[in-house]
A and B are shown apart, each in its own frame.
Chain A
Amino acid sequence: MDLVLQLLFTGIGIGAVYALVALGFVLIFRATNVVNFAQGEFSMVAAFIMVVFAVDLGWPYWLSFIVSLGGMALLGALFNLGVYYPLRNRSFLPVIIATIGASIFLANSVLALYGPQPQVLQGWFDTPGIQLGPVYLDSQYLLIIAVTIVLVAFQYWFFEHTLLGKKLQATSQDKEMASLIGIPVSAMIMLTFVYSALLGGIAGILVAPVLFVSIQMGATIALKAFAATIIGGFGDVAGAIIGGLALGVIETFGAAYISVPYKDGFAFLVLVAFLIFRPQGLFGERVAEKA
């Protein structure tokens, strides 16, 4: 039982990270109908900005965090202007390829600027964790779970109870209609990219003390987050969260009880099963082509 509780806590902790990055995927998909494959690199860039300010320059943690989020907002805006906007009237394929290109560009830019060595970023708390009976709770994982809950609540309130949120929803549902009723569609999409970059950035900064800061960290998380998005149902916020958490728990238990080397395999086995038997995901609606 102790073992199960320990695995469950770790699984939920790592799953919360996938969920945060998956949220970014979902938001951009809803607004633009394309998958942003550079979402993971947003996490990596934010973590490196934190290292530059909090570690190299010795700025206070909170100030570095704000600077890092500022940087991410800027990156999100530039990403929209440089990658999505010029291709917005093309089919989804050129946009997806452009996001893959941007992802490679971001990873290699950081490599050129900062070098290949992984870096250490301290967590928010001085205490590494607490022992609760037989289970050890890593303080950073506790923080990740807490932030995920807060962000999900915020997102629900923002999209369902604010005018701006509703405008964003309208944009994602039908751009032409939204435009006809006076919603500035380009600005809404810009806002979506900025918010997604912020979400990715927060995930990166939160996970950095656990996984360290490295060039590969973005790709590793994004791949799982992408799987989580498909399991949850592309385009569904609740689905992304449940998908992320489920993936974290499945791979942790699979590793413990079946095979450690095939840990990643379990995640993708579930993904393939969903693609075959329930391609719309847990919460997605079946989309039928009109004849």
Chain B
Amino acid sequence: MKLTRRGFSGALAASIAAPALIGRAGAQGATLKIGMCAPVTGPAAEQGRYAQTGAKIALDAVNKAGGVLGKQVELIIEDDQTTNPGIVLAFSKLAAQDDIVAFLGSIRSTQVHAMAPDVLKLGKPVMIGGTDPALTHMGNQWLFRFRPNDSYSGRVLADYGVNTLGKKKWAIVHSTDAFGTAGGKALTEALGKIGATVALDQGYANQSQDFTPVVLAVKQSGADILGSYFTFENDLGIFARQLRQLGVNIPYVGSPSIVNVSALKLAGPALYGTFGVADYAEDSSEASKAYGKLYREAAKVAPDNQSAWTYDAITILCASINKAGKTDPKAIREAILATKNFAGAEGTYNFDANGDGLHGYNIVKNDKGNIVFDKHIDFND
């Protein structure tokens, strides 16, 4: 047989392409892929590790139970560098892989906002943990939230302070960034609806070195309860300590940062006896307890919301694909939205038409440094 130039070129091209084609075909057949953008590097790298662990625990359970649509599920992780450009790049790398059927985005609202236009263009389901209410109310039907949004935290704080603690004259302290301003506003509105008054609405700039003027304003306002939205734990730590030093001892209910591990460490006894809202509380339900046990075994540290939401996201996503019976994005979307009364680690999921799965928060108490579950407050709207 005579080897022609054309024949040789054809054979060469085929031999180069074959392994890739065979590999791709094999991969497509063998596993079902889910993409995940997570901070592997950058300031939130530690939390990113928690998020990955939560997702992997869920994935193991799904695969042990037979996988999805008869295939084992594979998680493809891209580093979002804890930045907005980072997550846009990470998502575009994942989106370029046609065989990825759905994605996990970020717990940070700002990053979700950054990637949202690309999510809309791609048209595949993306699970998120960011709590800015706008994320599921801006016409992007592909975002599904696995944490309660911030509109609920204000209502829960107000409800608990007024109806459980019986306090009606409030001082509100909040950061002046998007999170703090929106939180302070939500709390003020919720208080107005249940007949409580706001004696002081005090904003502060992040990374303040001193809160003496704020504490003195709280003291002078004559408020009988304090509500807060702090963005950074070090600000909260300085504020809480100065609050006690200057003799302010009224009941204090705060946004989730008041009960996170860093704040507890920094503020120490200054935060004892305070209440906070938390989307994940280990003792809030049987499902939360069961997840806590699994996570402690896998990660050797206490579970928190950073990992609980990714655990729930993978669990519900996989169940929804199974229920849909196919990987068509629209079918998956409908199956996720049809999820009702699903007991997850973060709470009971009842998806609404906007893509919000959870509609309430847990109230927890700082009992001498231990976070103790107090009650769960849910809303139907």
Given contact pairs A118-B266, A129-B245, A210-B238, A6 touches B217 in the complex (Cβ within 8 A): no
Interface residues in chain B, defined as those with a beta carbon under 8 Å from any beta carbon in chain A = 43-46, 176, 202-205, 207-210, 212-214, 216-217, 220, 233-234, 237-238, 241, 245-247, 262, 265-266, 268
A280 to B270, alpha carbons, bound, how many Å?
44
**How many whole Å from A170's CB to the nearest CB in chain B?**
37
For residue A101, CB closer than 8 A to chain B, the reply is: no
Contact across chains for B217 and A260 when beta carbons are under 8 A apart: yes
A128 to B267, alpha carbons, bound, how many Å?
13
Contact of A255 among B46, B213, B247, B268 (CB under 8 A): B213
- Across the interface, which residues of B come within 8 angstroms of A263, CB to CB? 204-205, 208, 213
Contact across chains for B216 and A6 when beta carbons are under 8 A apart: yes
**How many whole Å from B222's CB to the nearest CB in chain A?**
15
Contact of A220 among B207, B237, B247 (CB under 8 A): B207
Contact across chains for B266 and A120 when beta carbons are under 8 A apart: yes
A252 to B210, alpha carbons, bound, how many Å?
8
For residue A187, CB closer than 8 A to chain B, the reply is: no
The residue on B at minimum CB distance from A265 is B205
Residues facing B in A99-147 (CB within 8 A) are: 111, 115-118, 120, 128-129, 136, 138
10 contacts between A and B (CB under 8 A): A115-B45, A118-B234, A120-B266, A128-B241, A210-B209, A211-B234, A212-B234, A221-B209, A261-B176, A263-B208
Given contact pairs A212-B234, A261-B205, A120 touches B212 in the complex (Cβ within 8 A): no
Give me the 6 closest cross-chain CB pairs, A-B, nearest first.
Answer: A256-B213, A255-B213, A116-B43, A10-B212, A118-B234, A261-B203
**Majority secondary structure of chain B interface residues (helix, strand, loop or mixed):** helix
Contact across chains for A212 and B205 when beta carbons are under 8 A apart: no
The residue on A at minimum CB distance from B46 is A115
Given contact pairs A255-B213, A260-B217, A212 touches B203 in the complex (Cβ within 8 A): no
- Across the interface, which residues of A come within 8 angstroms of B203, CB to CB? 260-261
Specify which of A115, A120, A252 lies most central, judged by the most chain B CB atoms within 10 Å of its CB: A120
For residue A214, CB closer than 8 A to chain B, the reply is: yes
**How many whole Å from B27's CB to the nearest CB in chain A?**
35
Q: Interface 1/0s, chain A 30-60, versus B by CB < 8 A? A: 0000000000000000000000000000000
Contact across chains for B262 and A260 when beta carbons are under 8 A apart: no
A32 to B255, alpha carbons, bound, how many Å?
49
The residue on B at minimum CB distance from A10 is B212
Contact across chains for A216 and B213 when beta carbons are under 8 A apart: no
For residue A3, CB closer than 8 A to chain B, the reply is: yes
The residue on B at minimum CB distance from A209 is B241
Given contact pairs A116-B44, A118-B262, A120-B268, A260 touches B234 in the complex (Cβ within 8 A): no
- Across the interface, which residues of A come within 8 angstroms of B247, CB to CB? 136
- Across the interface, which residues of B come within 8 angstroms of A120, CB to CB? 265-266, 268
Specify which of B43, B212, B246, B247 lies most central, judged by the most chain A CB atoms within 10 Å of its CB: B212
Contact across chains for B205 and A264 when beta carbons are under 8 A apart: yes
Contact across chains for A261 and B213 when beta carbons are under 8 A apart: no
For residue A168, CB closer than 8 A to chain B, the reply is: no
Q: Interface 1/0s, chain A 188-227, versus B by CB < 8 A? A: 0000000000000000000000111010100011000000
Given contact pairs A117-B262, A255-B213, A211 touches B204 in the complex (Cβ within 8 A): no
The residue on B at minimum CB distance from A260 is B204
Specify which of B214, B234, B247 lies most central, judged by the most chain A CB atoms within 10 Å of its CB: B234
**How many whole Å from A214's CB to the nearest CB in chain B?**
6
**How many whole Å from A2's CB to the nearest CB in chain B?**
9
A220 to B208, alpha carbons, bound, how many Å?
9
A120 to B210, alpha carbons, bound, how many Å?
16
A71 to B45, alpha carbons, bound, how many Å?
28
Contact across chains for B46 and A212 when beta carbons are under 8 A apart: no
Contact of A136 among B208, B217, B233, B245 (CB under 8 A): B245
For residue A14, CB closer than 8 A to chain B, the reply is: yes
Contact across chains for B234 and A214 when beta carbons are under 8 A apart: yes
Contact across chains for A211 and B213 when beta carbons are under 8 A apart: no
The residue on B at minimum CB distance from A138 is B245
The residue on A at minimum CB distance from B262 is A117
Contact of B46 among A7, A17, A117 (CB under 8 A): A117
Given contact pairs A115-B46, A116-B44, A263-B205, A252 touches B238 in the complex (Cβ within 8 A): no
**How many whole Å from A254's CB to the nearest CB in chain B?**
9
Given contact pairs A118-B262, A210-B238, A128 touches B245 in the complex (Cβ within 8 A): yes
